[in-house]
Amino acid sequence: MNRLSSIRVLFVLLVLLSGFGLSGCLTLGPDFEAPVVDVPAAYRFAPDDAGQDQDLKWWELFKDPVLYELVTTALENNQDLKTALSRIEEARFSFGMTRADRFPALNLGGGGFVGNYSGTRSTFTNKNLYISPTLSWELDFWGKFKRATTAAQAQILASAYGAWAVRTSLIADVVSAYYQLLDYRQRLEMSKETLTSRQDGLDIITKRFDKGIIPKIDVNQAQIQLEVAAGAIPSYERLIAKTEHRLKLLMGSLPGAVRTVVALDKEPLPPMIPVGMPASLLARRPEIKSALALVHAANEKIGVAVAQRFPAISLTGVLGLASSEVSDITNHGGIWNLSGSLLGPLFDFNKSKFRVEVAKEQTRQALFNYQEVVLTAFKEVEDALVEVDTYRRESDASQRKVAAAENAYKLSFERYDKGVSSYLEVLDSQRTLFSAQLEYSQNRQLYFNAYVNLYKALGGGWLSKRSDAVENTALPVQ
């Protein structure tokens, strides 16, 4: 057989074996089935007008252009989100590496020898030159590489939904910090106004004491209340600065001031979020989708472990040129061979068996984690729903409390001014008013953040086609 005929025979054999290997014969291990999860028919604390799923940008509910700018900047520059997106690319490259194991590997080898020593004894002087592409390939007869490829693809999905979860948390953190900043700034203004009011009151009390109308204790009590308001100012200044720094970090910027234009009590309350049906949470919450993808990946690895208990079928083909003279290497000395090997465990003290059991237990752990993520998701939705309802009522009560406290303070000072009551009544009404104002600001902030928590618990938005979009974007073609 001449050299050309040998090359053709080798090529035909490799093509035929390639088709056989790529198609495979068996796929060992259990096929993945999505676990069945019991979900409630309705949320316990969902309002009657909660609405259904709809395409909606969540930040439009808050109607704050400054907040929109902060969130947009954070989505562009946040380092944690960039890292999460990079993990998707890492998973895609890992998928490519794993998928490549299903195909032949072609390597190029070459070398030369000249001399009269072969490594063990002296010989006649000789020389030999060769160059040969070498094809090596382990046939996926048991479906090991197919399972591994599917597992890698599931890892891509897990990374994609993990990035979506990071994005959801990022937006929630920005909005939450923003409303905390508005709260602290409003409480700072309340403290400054209270300080001014108490300074005016202290001036009046001091003049009356100088005239001998009132005792010294009234002056001391007024001074105490003045310093309470004065001490609150640096406290809120510190909280404001730290919250600004937190926002800047979320936006991927160095520490600095954050602009706000609307006071917290002027912020419009958002309408009720369309929570939809509980069953839709399984498809909408990225943490759930990510955990499910990890269960799928772990399940496929069982098949990989099972396949490793069986012999590996490998093929090796060499097609090249060899000659004792450089000038003749392209004209003479065509070489080729095709060989196969079978290598499998014969006795390994049950190592292969234990490998399968390890994979099974890891799959069970992934399943338990998935179930825990589902339970946690429903718990967080219910918590957020009850927060929205109760903080709304607390905020309304706090607002009425402030109005009553303002009137009580006005009346108590008039009574004191007329000598009807002692200054202790004025001091008590002052404390009550200041406390009520701070409480109202905090409750209103908590009410806004209850919406943020609900947004996060529902999966970061209400886009019914989001899951399909993530999958189509993340998954490569096999």
- % the chain with pLDDT above 70: 77
On the question of pLDDT at 293 being above 70, the answer is yes
Q: Tokens 């025979």 identify what position?
A: 9
pLDDT of residue 44: 76
* Residue 118, Cβ density class (10 Å: 0-12 exposed, 13-18 middle, ≥19 buried): exposed
Closest CA to 315 of 292, 293, 337, 334: 337
| 316 phi and psi angles, rounded to 5 deg | -135, 130
Amino acid letter, 66: V
Query: Tell me: the pLDDT tens digits for 202-227?
Result: 898 898 888 888 888 888 988 999 99
Predicted pLDDT at 241: 96
Q: Are 438 and 260 in contact (CB under 8 A)?
A: no
Mean pLDDT of 248-258: 94
Give the model confidence (pLDDT) of 115-133 as tens digits: 655 555 555 555 566 666 7
The mean-pLDDT minimum among 14-18, 85-89, 151-155 falls in: 14-18
- Which tokens belong to 221? 């009590």
pLDDT value at position 51? 52
Exposed / middle / buried, residue 34 (Cβ in 10 Å: 0-12, 13-18, 19+): exposed
- pLDDT band of residue 464 (cuts 50, 70, 90) is very low
* The pLDDT value given to residue 459: 83
| Model confidence pTM above 0.85 | no
Q: List, as one string, the DSSP characters of 49-84.
A: T--------GGGGT--HHHHHHHHHHHHH-HHHHHH
Residue 125 or residue 147, greater confidence: 147
- Order the strands of the 105-117 sheet from edge to edge: 105-117, 122-139, 312-323, 334-343
- pLDDT recorded at residue 255: 93
Distance of CA 257 to the CA centre of its chain: 27
Tokens linked to 431: 């404390």
Q: How confident is the model at residue 368 (pLDDT cuts 50, 70, 90)?
A: very high
Cβ-count burial of 335 within 10 angstroms (0-12 exposed, 13-18 middle, 19+ buried)?
middle
